[in-house]
Amino acid sequence: MSEEKEKVKIQIEAIKTPAGEVPTVESLKRVVNGLNTLNSDMVNLSMNVASNMSAIDKELRNIRKLVAEETVSFEVMSQKLEKVSKQLEALVKSEKEKWETLQGIMMDIAEIIKGFQTTLEESSSRVDQRISETLKALAEIIAVSVKEEQK
């Protein structure tokens, strides 16, 4: 593949005719050869990009799967939290005399919320880490591709 700084000079020779200067057949062959080289470089670059996109697509599918799994987990936690909340409302309405029990349930809810928050932070951290790793891998792939193109 041509280097980025490489310049291809094509010498075009012409012959004088009554109608004006006309490029020689050899000059036209050099132009065609230069265009063929450019086309070959473009095909190689396209193949490298397609290969890299496949790897990126795979990583994105893995991230989507992880996010979907975490979403299901969050939904389950949310349903559990909603259930506990409804039970709490029923206890407050029907049993004022069981204040100590109610305080215990409230502490349980606080623990569930802390657990939910912790899980959310951990999941967010994992997703951020996977995105960071994917971006680093993409940068490495692009760097390798650029180095290969410069050879």
Cα–Cα distance measured from residue 40 to residue 29, given in angstroms and rounded to the nearest whole number: 16
Residue 79 has pLDDT above 70, yes or no: yes
Residue 1 has pLDDT above 70, yes or no: no
pLDDT score recorded for residue 146: 85
Please provide residue 21's backbone torsions phi and psi, each rounded to the nearest 5 degrees.
-75, 140
Give residue limits of the domains in the chain.
14-150
pLDDT bracket for residue 80 (50, 70, 90) = very high
Q: Which residues pair with 15 in a beta bridge?
A: 22
- For the stretch 18-73, pLDDT in tens is 999 998 899 899 899 889 988 998 999 998 898 889 889 999 999 999 999 988 88
- For the stretch 82-111, pLDDT in tens is 999 988 788 767 877 667 776 887 899 899
